[in-house]
Amino acid sequence: MKNINILAIESSCDETSASVISDGKILNNIVATQSVHEKYGGVVPELASRAHQQHLIPVVSEALLSSGLKAEDLSAVAVTRGPGLMGSLMVGLSFAKSYAYALGIPLIDVNHMQAHILAHYIDDPKPAFPFICLTVSGGHTQLVLVKSHLDMEVIGETLDDAVGEAFDKTAKLLGLPYPGGPMVDKLAAEGNPLAYTFPLSEMPGLNYSFSGIKTAVLYFLRDQLKNNEDFIKDNLADICASVQYTLIKMLMQKLKRATREHRISQVAIAGGVSANSGLRKELNSLAADLGWKVFIPKFEYCTDNAAMIAMAAHYKFLEGDFCGLDISPIAKMKI
């Protein structure tokens, strides 16, 4: 029987990535980063789209070359359809549609957020169904009940800003370089998490809100700088630690509630913020206290990457879940 070989492409934001998967085994994960955004302190959509155009053919070529496969060996082409930046998605989707058409093979559209969750099936250990996944990134914060590889239900989500945005906004207010979230995490390890108190937003059910803490940090810094212009410089680590402590506490409160309500003890995290060392430490601590079995992906599969797109595509291929060449990107695609 012929192997199932899939080329996957990820271009939802500012990472251009390609990966090849063969019979469910990831052969590579090629990622090209975009440094052009650093001087702007955030992703500029137009610049991201142009960078994808520059990077896409080189990363696809490298993915095929390092896999040892040729284009004619491919069974399908997979691509992120959404959610993401519309221009960035369009670049990847246009290329994938053309490539699949030229080879006469199926096209598979992948939900970016589902792919983050399915990154847990790239390596062992793999969670058994059902489990709850806390998916956290710059654009999303969701609690997802995962019933099977392709059957997922969002049981809680942010009603305004994502937790990753709160990390990045805090970093920007502190004058830290982009990307700011990892810098906050690094400095937090050196600070006192109880040095300053920030409010915990209370939302109904399993939903989140992170707009309030962004405003609280803004006003806190404004008031402190009135009396001491060196306040941020003198207390940088403590500020980072205190903000990170508050954000993680908010995440864990709803996660604990979700596990109780659904009577599930298998817990996973996914998305770019799942690389945060403070979050990982707290999750493992709660696992020891509450008897959870915790699953945390490797760092390379936390941020945007094509390997997770390839894994999701593998399961869709097995179900014969293909799409037409007339599809368009969906910026706010839901699970």
Binding residue numbers for substrate: 135-139, 168, 181, 185, 276
Q: According to DSSP H, which parts of the chain are helical?
A: 45-67, 86-103, 112-118, 163-173, 180-188, 211-227, 231-262, 277-290, 306-318
Picking from 248, 246, 12, 253, the residue whose alpha carbon sits closest to that of residue 109 is 12
> Is residue 80 within 8 Å of 7, Cβ to Cβ?
no
d(CA 62, CA 45): 25
> Is residue 116 within 8 Å of 137, Cβ to Cβ?
yes
d(CA 135, CA 274): 8
Binding residues: 112, 116, 135-139, 168, 181, 185, 276, 304
Looking up tokens 């945060």, which residue turns up? 276
Which amino acid belongs to residue 93? L
d(CA 121, CA 112): 15
Binding residues for Fe cation: 112, 116, 304
